[in-house]
């Protein structure tokens, strides 16, 4: 079994003892400090194929060394190596990670910090999770540097502009810089191009509210096709949201799946909706809600279910005439211990929900909501259509 040695390096220091015959993989910035008698390979593009070829064509006496910044196992090269080269043996020698350096230089207690990485990750910035953290430390990338992330946070939630924040640039290197101030001020800092920078935000007053039963106005929707707040809150409570995979079938505006994703960062939600225009609503609502763990899926529910990973939680909010068929097919894929919640508005659908999969049903009830409405100077109760809700479980789920 070939061995790959991985070292954390800081500012050209901590370079391991290298000899001729050593094959050294590193980024351009670190590679310049490697002695010329080594065989240098830049970590870029197809480096994985290059390393695999070298593993196959070099002998056991050829030492393979990989250099990374800070701790290679924290959002670094170490994780990629472990995933790609499972047949190899590894040794890791870390240095302080960038977030540790930033905490030390700016006096931040990071024992309760939540860490986020945007590096090489496309999609939405999970800004509500960031701003609800007591201290959030965000690793950025060249496309979204620390100042850009600060601008985006302030744009989406203006109250955070007064919160304290720190930007660290090229920490541990000779050209490092640290900027401290309010988050709004950090959004205006001009950072060097292609620099390695991170942002730390310390939560101030009035963090974003918990995403549970938010007003309908929070979501873009088509013809009021949305699970309304009171129903949404009850459904999420009955689903007992936990890490894993959730299906939101007949997602409409995506409100249930989006709130579930906001409540549990380790939950991956697949929002299935056949109407392409509503997929646009889901994507808009995801961005507005600051979640990055919802995957919109456009297509027929029955066809798409077979392509999705097995779920731990299922919400069926649509289906129409296919309601019973969808319930059966979805429940068959549900993992042991999983929970499925189904809602129905029409009398015909409610009859199906009430009688289908009865041996697995744990609860069946209706939810009627009345809001006070003014008429002729007086207030009257105005009722919405009653909603039938059924809760199913596969085995023991703690209900």
Residues 6+ apart with CB under 8 A from 344: 323, 350, 352, 353, 387, 388, 390
- Answer yes or no: do 81 and 66 share one domain: yes
Strands 177-182 and 164-169: antiparallel
- Answer yes or no: do 193 and 76 share one domain: no
For residue 346, tell me if it sits in a domain: yes
- Answer yes or no: do 360 and 259 share one domain: yes
For residue 171, tell me if it sits in a domain: yes
Can you give the CATH number for the domain in which 20 is found? Answer: 3.40.1010.10
- Answer yes or no: do 343 and 231 share one domain: yes
User: How much is the pLDDT for 398?
Assistant: 57
User: How much is the pLDDT for 244?
Assistant: 97
User: How much is the pLDDT for 175?
Assistant: 83
Average pLDDT along the chain, 399 residues, taken 10 residues at a time: 89 78 89 90 90 89 90 89 94 91 90 84 80 92 88 91 94 86 95 85 88 86 83 95 96 94 94 92 91 94 95 88 92 96 92 94 94 89 91 78
* Number of domains making up the chain: 3
Q: pTM of the predicted model, to two decimals?
A: 0.77
Size (the chain), residues: 399
- Answer yes or no: do 151 and 243 share one domain: no
- Answer yes or no: do 76 and 108 share one domain: no
User: How much is the pLDDT for 12?
Assistant: 57
Can you give the CATH number for the domain in which 375 is found? Answer: 3.40.50.150
User: How much is the pLDDT for 223?
Assistant: 78
- Answer yes or no: do 84 and 163 share one domain: no
- Answer yes or no: do 176 and 315 share one domain: no
Strand order in the sheet with 164-169: 113-117, 135-139, 197-202, 164-169, 177-182
Instruction: Say which DSSP state 335 is in.
Output: P
- Answer yes or no: do 153 and 229 share one domain: no
- Answer yes or no: do 221 and 360 share one domain: yes
| CB contact at 8 A, 141 and 69 | no
Residue 288 is part of which domain span?
216-393
- Answer yes or no: do 151 and 255 share one domain: no
User: How much is the pLDDT for 60?
Assistant: 79
Strands 197-202 and 164-169: antiparallel
| CB contact at 8 A, 67 and 25 | yes
User: Is the alpha carbon torsion for 185, 191, 194, 200 positive or negative?
Assistant: negative
The whole-angstrom separation of Cα 59 and Cα 135 is 48
Which of 175, 202, 229 terminates a domain? The answer is 202
Instruction: Record the tokens describing residue 29, joined without a space.
Output: 């910035």
- Answer yes or no: do 287 and 360 share one domain: yes
């Amino acid at each position: 079994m070939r061995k790959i040695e991985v070292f954390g390096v800081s500012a050209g220091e901590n370079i391991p003892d290298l000899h001729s015959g050593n094959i050294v993989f590193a980024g351009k910035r670190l590679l310049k400090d490697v002695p010329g008698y080594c065989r240098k390979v830049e970590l870029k593009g197809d480096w994985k194929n290059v390393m695999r070829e070298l593993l196959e064509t070099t002998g056991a006496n050829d030492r393979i060394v990989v250099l990374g910044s800070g701790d290679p196992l924290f959002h670094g090269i170490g994780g990629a190596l472990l995933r790609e080269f499972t047949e190899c043996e590894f040794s890791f020698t870390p240095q302080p990670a960038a977030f540790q350096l930033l905490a030390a230089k700016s006096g931040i207690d990071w024992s309760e910090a939540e860490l986020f990485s945007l590096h090489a990750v496309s999609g939405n910035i999970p800004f509500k999770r960031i701003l609800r953290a007591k201290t959030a430390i965000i690793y950025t990338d060249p496309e979204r540097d620390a100042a850009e992330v600060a601008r985006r946070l302030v744009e989406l939630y203006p109250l955070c502009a007064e919160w304290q924040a720190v930007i660290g640039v090229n920490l541990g290197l000779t050209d490092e810089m640290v900027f401290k101030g309010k988050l709004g001020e950090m959004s205006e800092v001009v950072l060097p191009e292609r620099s390695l920078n991170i942002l730390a935000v310390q939560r101030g007053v009035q963090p974003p509210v918990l995403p549970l039963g938010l007003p309908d106005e929070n979501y873009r929707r088509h013809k009021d096709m949305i699970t309304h707040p009171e129903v949404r809150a009850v459904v999420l409570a009955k689903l007992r949201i936990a890490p894993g995979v959730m299906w939101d079938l007949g997602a409409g505006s995506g409100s249930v799946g989006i709130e579930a994703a906001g409540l549990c960062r380790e939950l991956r939600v697949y929002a299935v909706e056949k109407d392409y225009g509503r997929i646009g609503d889901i994507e808009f609502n995801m961005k507005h809600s600051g979640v990055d763990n919802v995957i919109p899926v456009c297509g027929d529910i029955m066809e798409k279910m077979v392509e999705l990973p097995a779920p731990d939680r299922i919400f069926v909010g649509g289906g129409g005439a296919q309601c019973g068929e969808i319930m059966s097919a979805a429940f068959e894929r549900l993992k042991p211990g999983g929970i499925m919640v189904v809602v129905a508005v029409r009398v015909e659908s409610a009859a199906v929900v009430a009688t289908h999969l009865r041996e697995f049903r744990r609860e069946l009830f209706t939810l009627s909501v009345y809001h006070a409405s003014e008429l002729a100077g007086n207030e009257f109760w105005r009722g919405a259509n009653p909603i039938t809700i059924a809760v199913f479980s596969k085995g023991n789920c703690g209900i």
